[in-house]
Chains A and B, each alone.
Chain A
Amino acid sequence: MIAFLQQYAFWIITIVKIALLLFIVLTVNAYLTWFERKAVAHIQSRWGPHRVGPHGLLQPAADGLKFLFKEDVTPAGVDRFVYYLAPFLSLMLSLTALAVIPFAPNPLPFKILGEHVYLWITNPDIGLLILFAITALSVYGIALAGWASNSKYSLMGGLRSSAQMISYELALTMSVVGVLLMANTFSLQSIIEQQANAKWGVGFLGWNIIAWTHQGLFFPQIIGFICFFTSAIAETNRAPFDLPEAESELVAGFHTEYSSFKFAMFFIAEYTAMITVSCLATILFFGGWLSPFASTPFWHFTYYIPSITLIPFGLWVIYDGLKYETIFGKLILPAIGFAMFAIGGALIALPAVNDYIQPIFWFTAKIFVFLFFYVWARGTLPRLRYDQLMNVGWKLLLPVSIANVIVTAGVVIARSYR
């Protein structure tokens, strides 16, 4: 048995990693919907979900159950094969994209079945190109859903989304070329490692958004980042670029005719795409798993930041939970709070574990900031008109990102002649 396991260790570990990543991402997705509703509600001076569980924390579970038990309607006159294919395609492609994202540099401190376990599914040399290939294909899910539904609102949504995604894909790809020129590689891991900076004890100066590592001649990729994030929001069909599903004009756009779990699949695909884009923005421009502080002994105290965040938050969760009178408040919230408190304490007590989780902590924190940006943009910005959308994409973002590529190329050439 053990021999069999060891023979196929690589495959077994990969499959377990895929299952774990799917579980984590789908859970994060569910609570991202909760977070979004809560944050948008507070932006608009409302309470948001607060009935199901304390702070509405069980709302995602209720929504998931509702999706499963709703009637699955297939409208008359649809192109059945394409109609069923579209949500699968959307979900499959957006989940596949996560496979090439590296989450931490070092393998787990112990071996499993005689193999080092790295925190990525696969780490190819052309990681970024694979991500772009998947993005290029993901337009089909939405376009085909719109076409196959046999409804004019859906068709309009599908047409809009194809036009929008074709237009913004150019700016999205172009805005990343500046980073690629400076990194000289497509590998996401190498791109992150090149952003490390030990000068003056401030790590964040090395991130591509500032890019101070390149002695003397430096060119911050801030223009590239703004172009990248704007077009990425458009690529993921999120507000203020959510014309494919503009509810005031098109009912629900491309997914008007989808109900029950097929609708949920589009929903999960959209939120997973948000997570992927946040990971990519973090990796390309904000140093991925690198800490904003340098790794010199003086800055070693920053290694306690995860504990310092977890312990007070855990205590607050216990305090908050005790105010509720239901079993969730009295039992489960204090238990979760105590777990956080205990993990925070354990991290202080076990320096080896603490060292290991540093990259994961910073990566997660940065992803969370970008996810908040998404929600913030949705809560505060009005939707663009269609002609404004096209103007922004073709006449503003594309020329600016091309100019960014040219200037960056000049800086890289000048650096090579020094």
Chain B
Amino acid sequence: MSPVLLIFFVLAGLAVLGALSLVLQKHPIHSALSLIVVMVCLAGLYLLMGAEFVAAVQIIVYGGAIMVLFIFVIMLLNAGAEERTDFSKLAKIAGLPLALALTASIAAAVVKPDPGVPAVTQVVIPNATEKISSMLFNEFVYPFELTSFLILVAILGALVLAQREKK
């Protein structure tokens, strides 16, 4: 087994374990920590594919900024361990078949790969950051700016909701 493959399996296994623990943990902080593990492992997987910039941004934005806010809010509200309630009826009836269908479709895709989609080569592309940014600011500049506008609207909405009480 090559070292790259070994690292892949370690990271992938950790990511799956983290995702399971995210769902199964009872305390919100433990769940949030599991999510951080998943995100850092994903960053490692990106790094294995040679996408250095995406890996760093994954950690900075998701692992750092967003999850710190999650943890901050959980700490601020001092949320305790959640109580196990009965599952919803929809989950009881549709949950298992849907999970099976999803697993089956993923397994089918893994077993019989589509020849039209080329495999990702594990080659570090020089100046990848430059290429990503020129693509982002030339070809996709309008969707990119629209997304940031959307986020601005969300921030303003949160501000309005928070300030509504005071007059």
Contacts and interface: CB of A to CB of B under 8 A. Distances in A.
Given A82-B33, A126-B129, A129-B53, A140 B71 contact: yes
A338 B53 CA distance: 49
Interface in A45-92: 79, 81-82
Interface in B24-44: 27, 29-30, 33, 36, 40, 43
A159 interface: yes
Interface in B45-85: 52-53, 56-57, 59-60, 63-65, 68-69, 71-72, 75-76, 78
Contact of B71 (A125, A162, A186): A162
Q: Chain A's interface: helix, strand, loop or mixed, by majority?
A: helix
Contact of A140 (B27, B36, B43, B52): B36
Interface residues of A, number: 28
B65 A166 contact: yes
Contacts of B27: 79
A155 interface: yes
Given A124-B52, A132-B56, A139-B68, A162 B63 contact: no
Contact of A162 (B30, B59, B72): B72
A175 B43 CA distance: 25
Contacts of B71: 140, 143-144, 147, 162
Nearest to A134: B59
Contacts of B56: 126, 129-130, 132-133
Interface residues of B, number: 24
A159 B76 contact: yes
Say whether chain B's binding surface is mostly helix, strand, loop, or mixed. Answer: helix
Contacts, number: 74
Contacts of B36: 137, 140
Given A82-B29, A166-B69, A126 B63 contact: no
Nearest to A186: B129
16 contacts: A124-B52, A125-B52, A125-B129, A126-B129, A130-B56, A133-B64, A135-B64, A136-B68, A137-B64, A139-B64, A146-B75, A155-B78, A158-B75, A162-B75, A163-B72, A166-B72
Given A126-B129, A130-B56, A133-B43, 19 more contacts: A79-B29, A129-B52, A133-B56, A135-B64, A136-B64, A136-B65, A137-B36, A137-B63, A137-B64, A140-B71, A144-B29, A147-B71, A155-B75, A159-B72, A162-B72, A162-B75, A163-B72, A166-B65, A169-B64
